[in-house]
Every structure is written in C-alpha cells, then in structure tokens.
A and B are shown apart, each in its own frame.
Chain A
Amino acid sequence: MDFTFDNNIPIYIQLLEYLKIYLISGVFKCGEKLPSVRDFANTFKVNPNTMQKALAELESMNLIYTERTNGKYVTKDEKLIEKLKDEYAITLAKSYFQGMKRIGLGKADSIKYLEGINE
C-alpha cells in the first residue's frame, strides 16, 4: 500500500491518524507487539524520527506501551480502543452532518439520505 501525505499538515499528525485507524480496525490487536520504529518508518516511507514522534504521541495517550527491552505493544485495555473508535465515529458523523448543513439539509433529512444508501 502507498501512503500519501499532505505537506500542509505535520507528518507525525498524519501518521498518528493512520496508526489510530490500525488500532480501531484491529490491524494490531489489544496486547499485540508492534513492528519496530524502523520497520514502521520503512512501511510509511517516512523519517524514523517522525515515526518515533507519532508513536510517542500514541504512547502518551496510553494506546500503546513500551516494554523496556522488548519493544512496543498495543494497550491491553480494550475499553480504551472502544473509546477511540467511538470518538472517531463521532468525528466522522459530525463531519457528515456539517457537509449536509452546508447544502441546506437538517439532521432528519441527512439521516434519510444515509438510510437510502445501499452499501
């Protein structure tokens, strides 16, 4: 997979978004060991320092943790991941309603449109 980055937004923030989606969608599961900074950097084709910064940010949110000599792991706390998913879903939903509002459609109408979409 090729990852694209928007040069207008700090790269570590964009990496953080990719990583959050990995956690939410279960690409990396609770308690699972993560690839090394180096491997992650190679996958995303970014500077290892930038990768490190994104992972440090994730760690400060307690979503991952470091085992001193063994590397980094996904949190064992499933509730944290659930919460992350919930927050992410709310953000997506809000952005949908905002878009609909811009073209003059209220919440009730917007939901009707959603129901009309066949996946």
Chain B
Amino acid sequence: MSNMELLEIKNLNKKYDKKYVLKDVDLKITSGKIIGLLGKNGAGKTTLIKLINDLLTPTSGEIFVKGNNIGVESKKVISYLPERTYLNKQMKVSEVIDYFKDFYENFDDNKAKKLLKDLDLDINQNLSKMSKGMQEKVQLVLVMSRKADLYILDEPLGGVDPATRDYILDTILSNFNENASVIISTHLISDIERILDEVIFIDKGKIVLQSDTDELRTKENASIDEIFRRMFKC
C-alpha cells in the first residue's frame, strides 16, 4: 500500500437547506504526517471531520479511507476526539478505560494507564470531579491509546490553559508514529504550528490551501499564524 492515500476526499459537498457548509472539497492525506486543519469558527472544520467519521451524510462526493468508502472498516482505523465530550461524567476513569477496551479491539489499556500516570491523573476519580483541563487530558489519552491509522482531533486545545496545551502537544508528539497520521483542527494556530508537517486552510466551506509547513514559512517569510491572519483578515 506504498502510494495509496490514507485519506482521499473527492468533490465533497455538504449543504444544509440551500446553504453550502462544504463546497467542492478535494483532499489527499498520506501516512506519517501531523496535519493542522486550520480555519476560523464556522469555516467548516467540524462538519468535515464529522463527515470523515460517518456522523453526517454528504450531500454529494466521496470519502475514502485506505481505499475504502467510509463505514465499519474506516471506523476501526480512525481514532476520533470530538469537540465535545460524549463520556458519561458519572463514570470513574477506570470504568471509561474498561468501556473503551470493550468497544475498540485496538485499544491498549496498559498504554492508557501509563499515560494517565505520567500526567498525574488518578484512574479512580470520577470524571465529574475533574477540572475541564484534566477531563480533556483523559479524553486525549483514550484517543491516543488506540492503535489507529488516522487520529482526528477536533479542537483538542480549546478551553485549556497554556501549560496543559503543552502537555497535550507533547502527548500527541510522543505517541505519533510514522505509520499513522494525525489531523488536528484548531483556530489556536500559534500554539500548535511548531509540531505540524502540513497545514490545510479552510474558509467558508472551501479548502483554500494545503502546504508543507516549513515550505510555507520560507515562501511567505512569516509564521503560519501570521500567514493565516493576512489571508483571512476580517
């Protein structure tokens, strides 16, 4: 499967009533990359991510993961961190771990426990007793502890303090391997751009740019954050 795309999107459209939220999206993503999906609020990031995860149905167009249409097989190889938590907050962390272990064949509970320990999180604690930052760390650990081909993290840095952001970035980096890719959607570009191989700019439902991060910095002689601001000045 040397030159097969990990993710390929062809002419994807998503429309609510008469309004397009995604328009003519074409995208190819290969293995071994950390990719930033960057766009303002309402640009279409979450819609695109939900379509890839089979949580929404396209109006038209196709999505392939490792050559197959979205479905049962693609769900096995994609590990998804949603923007909002879907975990039952009355559960203890250890119970959530058991739940993940039952649900996903490729979930490594020993890895999850180790990562949680590294982050000083107590697995006997109820999620409801944890701060927002702690809960986000738990969620990220669960998602990164699946042995997947594609990790999709929707706004993993939203609402956490800068120190926690660094923790989250380090966790992503140290668990990243060359056989998988990670897509991270965010509008907090300056916090995250140092770890990205590639960036995808999305605006008003359209992909406006896909580029290697360092090449773009060289070409524009600026940071990704700066380039983004220039391009989408309000």
**Interfacial residues, chain A to chain B (CB-CB below 8 A):** 5-13, 41-42, 45-50, 53
Contact = CB atoms under 8 A, between A and B. Distances in A.
B170 A45 contact: yes
A39 B218 CA distance: 26
29 contacts: A7-B193, A7-B194, A7-B223, A7-B224, A7-B225, A7-B226, A8-B221, A8-B223, A8-B226, A10-B215, A10-B217, A11-B213, A11-B214, A12-B214, A13-B214, A41-B173, A42-B173, A42-B174, A45-B169, A45-B173, A46-B173, A47-B34, A47-B173, A48-B173, A48-B176, A49-B33, A49-B34, A50-B214, A53-B214
Nearest to A14: B194
A45 B195 CA distance: 8
B27 interface: no
B196 interface: yes
A45 B218 CA distance: 21
Interface size class of B (residues with CB under 8 A): 20 to 34
A13 B214 CA distance: 9
B222 A8 contact: yes
B131 interface: no
Nearest to A49: B197
A31 to B, nearest CB: 28
Contacts of B224: 7
Nearest to B222: A8
B58 interface: no
B228 to A, nearest CB: 11
B17 interface: no
Contacts of B110: none
